[in-house]
Amino acid sequence: MRFSPEPRISCNDRGMTPTEVSSTTTALPFAEHLERWKGLIYPGSNAQKHFQPHNGSLIAELPSCARSDVEEAFALARSAQLIWAKRPLRERTALVRRFHDLILDHDSVLLDVVQTETGKSRASAFDEVADIALNSRYYANSARRHLAPRRRQGALPFVTSAKEYYCPKGVVGMITPWNYPLTLPITDALPALLAGNAIVLKPDAQAPFSALAAISLLVDAGLPKDLFQVVLGDGPLVGGAIIDNADFVMFTGSTATGKIVAEACGRRLIGFAAELGGKNPMIVLDDAPLDRALQGALAASFSNAGQLCVSIERLYVQDTIYDTFVPAFREAVNNIKLGTALDFSYDMGCLISQEQLDKVVGHVQDAVAHGATVLAGGSARPDIAPFAFEPTLLENVTEAMALCRGETFGPVVSLYRFSTDDEAVALANDTRYGLNASVWGSRKRAQAVAKRIEAGSVNVNEGFTASWASTDAPMGGFKESGVGRRHGREGIVKFTNPQAVATQRWMNIAPLPGMSSGTFASTMVKGLKLLKFLPGRD
C-alpha cells in the first residue's frame, strides 16, 4: 500500500490549504514489517511514540531503554562477538555480499521507510540506498586486503622479522543522527562487523525505523543472533551508557555533542571517531562550466532540504560572472518543487522537526533583521507540511548575523562575491569547520584551488557526491568538523587494534657472549649508520 500521490508544488505557489496534523496512525506502506522490526530493539520498560514529520501522524510506539538495559545489551553483544571473531573472514564478506543484494532487492520498502520518518524527497532517500550498496560492495571486496597481516621492517635485517595484525576492538558503540538514518548506521557498522566486532547502536529517536529495516536484512543475510544490538531512549542517558561500556565509539552529530563524546571517551582512554558539523563553501571560478555549476549548486545546497553535514551553505562566485550566475541560480531555486508524497514527483521534502524549523526560521529572520537580502524563498510552508521551508538564497550576509558562521542545517545558502583565487581560498578557509568544499572551474585551476582548501574532502566540479561516493578514499573533517575517517582503509582499520608480533632468530639484541657493553654500543653505532640506507616498507 502507498500513500496517494500529492501534487508538485512550486515555491511560488501559495494557494494551498494547510496540512492538518494529527496524532492518529495512518496506513503505512511498510506496516507488515513493523512487528518484526520492533523485535530487533532491546526491550525497555518505557515506550516512546514516533511520528511522521510531513503530516504528524503516528508511526508506532517503540520501547525506551534504561541504563541497565544498555548494559545487558552490551553483555549479549560481547558473548556473540567472541564467536563472530573466530569465523573466517570469507564467511563475513559472503554475508555482506548477500546483504548488498538484499538492499537492492528491497529498495522500494527502504525508500518508503526513509521518507516516512524523515520527510525527505525520494531522490534524497535513494542516495541512502545507493550509498549502502556502494559501501557493502567495497568492503566485501577490500576487507581481506585491508585486514591481512602486513610484513613490517624488523629491528635488525635478516635476524628480526615483524608482522602487523589487526585485532577487533570488541564491541563498537554507535550513536547516529536523524538526517541519514539508513546509511549512517549501516555503512559504519559494515566495516566494524567485517573487522570482527559486535555493535550496540543508538539511532536517533526521531528516525529509528530505517536502521531497523536494514538490520532485518542483515539478519536475513545471516547475521548471528545478538551481534547487532539496538537500544533506544533518552540521548544523554542511553548515549552515556554506550560510551561507558563500548570498546570504541563511532559518533555522527553536532560539534557541540561531539566534544562531549570526546571528553567521555578520553576519560576511559578508548578510541573514537566522529563526523561533526560543517559550514561548507562552494567556489565558482570564472572559467567554470556554468550550466553544470548551476545544477551542482542546486544539488549540493538543497539535497535533503540542506540537512546534510556536507551540504553547501556558503556560495562564493567570482565577480566577473556573479551577475550572470546568480540570476540564473535564483530562477532555478524558485523552480524547485516541494512535496511530501512517497514518489519521485518533487525535488525537496520538509525538515525533520519543529526544532529544526525554528532554527532555520530564526537564522533567516535574524539575517533579514540585520540587513540581509532574500533573493529566493525565505518562508515556512505549512501548506505543504508542518515543517516545510522554502529553499532560500541570501545576499549581503555579514558577521552580525548568526548564520554567517553558524551551521544552519537547512535549505539556506548565502551568496558572496570574490575577485581572486587567493581571496576565494581565504574566504573558504575562514571558518572553524572543515568538512567538505566544492570548487568549480577549469580542471587544473580548480584542482590547484582545491588543494589549498582546509577540508577533509574537496570536490572539483561536483558538490559532494564525488568524494562521498569514492568509497576507497577517506572521508572526514578538519578542525572542528571531526576526528578520524570513514570509508577506505581508515574506515575499517579504525575498528581494530593493530598488534605487532616480532620474531628474533639466531641471536638476541644484546651483547654477544664475552662482548662488553661499550663494544656492543660502538658496533651498533656503525650498524645504525649503515641502516639509514635500508629502504623503508609501506
| Mean pLDDT calculated for residue range 52-74 | 95
Binned at pLDDT 50, 70 and 90, residue 464 comes out as very high
- Domain limit, last residue, from 276, 295, 310: 276
Task: Give me the percent of the chain exceeding a pLDDT of 90.
Answer: 89
Q: Please give the Cα distance from 396 to 408 (Å, whole number).
A: 17
| 207 and 65 within one domain | yes
pLDDT of residue 307: 97
Active-site pick, 117, 128, 275, 462? 275
pLDDT of residue 18: 34
Binned at pLDDT 50, 70 and 90, residue 40 comes out as very high
Residue 252 has pLDDT above 90, yes or no: yes
pLDDT of residue 15: 34
| 390 and 466 within one domain | yes
| 329 and 401 within one domain | yes
pLDDT tens digits, residue range 206-219?
A: 999 999 999 999 99
**Which residues, 6 or more positions from 508, have their beta carbon under 8 angstroms from its beta carbon?**
none
Residue 3 has pLDDT above 70, yes or no: no
- Domain limit, last residue, from 276, 293, 313: 276
CATH number of the domain to which 464 belongs: 3.40.309.10
CB atoms within 10 A of CB 223: 23
Q: Please give the Cα distance from 359 to 355 (Å, whole number).
A: 6
Mean pLDDT (the chain, rounded):
93
CATH number of the domain to which 156 belongs: 3.40.605.10
Whether 131 contacts 231, CB under 8 Å:
no
| 286 and 266 within one domain | no
| 320 and 223 within one domain | no
pLDDT tens digits, residue range 347-395?
A: 999 999 999 999 999 999 999 999 999 999 999 999 999 999 999 999 9
Residue 23 has pLDDT above 70, yes or no: no
pLDDT of residue 12: 37
Binned at pLDDT 50, 70 and 90, residue 44 comes out as confident
Total domains in the fold of the chain: 2
Residue 152 has pLDDT above 60, yes or no: yes
Active-site pick, 309, 313, 462, 480? 309
Exposure string for 279-318, b = 16+ CB within 10 A, e = fewer: bbbbbbbbebebeebbebbbbbbbbbbbbbbbbbbbbbbb
Is residue 2 situated within a structural domain? no
Distance in Å from the first CA to the final CA of the chain:
55
Binned at pLDDT 50, 70 and 90, residue 6 comes out as very low
pLDDT of residue 157: 87
- Domain limit, last residue, from 254, 276, 298: 276
Is residue 287 situated within a structural domain? yes
Is residue 494 situated within a structural domain? no
pLDDT tens digits, residue range 489-525?
A: 999 999 999 999 999 998 898 999 999 999 999 998 9
To the nearest 10°, report the CA torsion of 336, 334, 423, 479.
-40
Residue 95 has pLDDT above 70, yes or no: yes
Whether 465 contacts 183, CB under 8 Å:
no
Q: Please give the Cα distance from 433 to 37 (Å, whole number).
A: 37
pLDDT of residue 537: 67
pLDDT tens digits, residue range 167-208?
A: 999 999 999 999 999 999 999 999 999 999 999 999 999 999
| 270 and 328 within one domain | no
pLDDT tens digits, residue range 232-242?
A: 999 999 999 99
| 266 and 137 within one domain | yes
| 305 and 268 within one domain | no
| Residue 244 structural domain | 36-276
Is residue 537 situated within a structural domain? no
The separation between CA 99 and the C-alpha centre of its own chain, rounded to angstroms, equals 20
Residue 155 has pLDDT above 90, yes or no: no
| 304 and 160 within one domain | no
Q: List the one residue out of 308, 317, 341 whose CA is nearest residue 412.
A: 308
Radius of gyration of the chain (CA): 26
Binned at pLDDT 50, 70 and 90, residue 484 comes out as very high
Is residue 131 situated within a structural domain? yes
Binned at pLDDT 50, 70 and 90, residue 25 comes out as low
Residue 9 has pLDDT above 80, yes or no: no
Active site residue 91: no
Taking CA 470 as the corner, what is the angle to CA 467 and CA 475, rounded to the nearest 5 degrees? 60
| 456 and 319 within one domain | yes
For every residue of 9-74, DSSP letters joined together read: EETT----PPPP--SSBPPPTTGGGHHHHHTTBPP-SEEEEEE-TTT--EEEEEEE--HHHHHHHH
Is residue 296 situated within a structural domain? yes
> What's the pTM?
0.93
Q: Please give the Cα distance from 441 to 314 (Å, whole number).
A: 17
Is residue 195 situated within a structural domain? yes
Whether 442 contacts 429, CB under 8 Å:
no
Active site residue 404: no
| 363 and 458 within one domain | yes
Is residue 26 situated within a structural domain? no
| 119 and 107 within one domain | yes
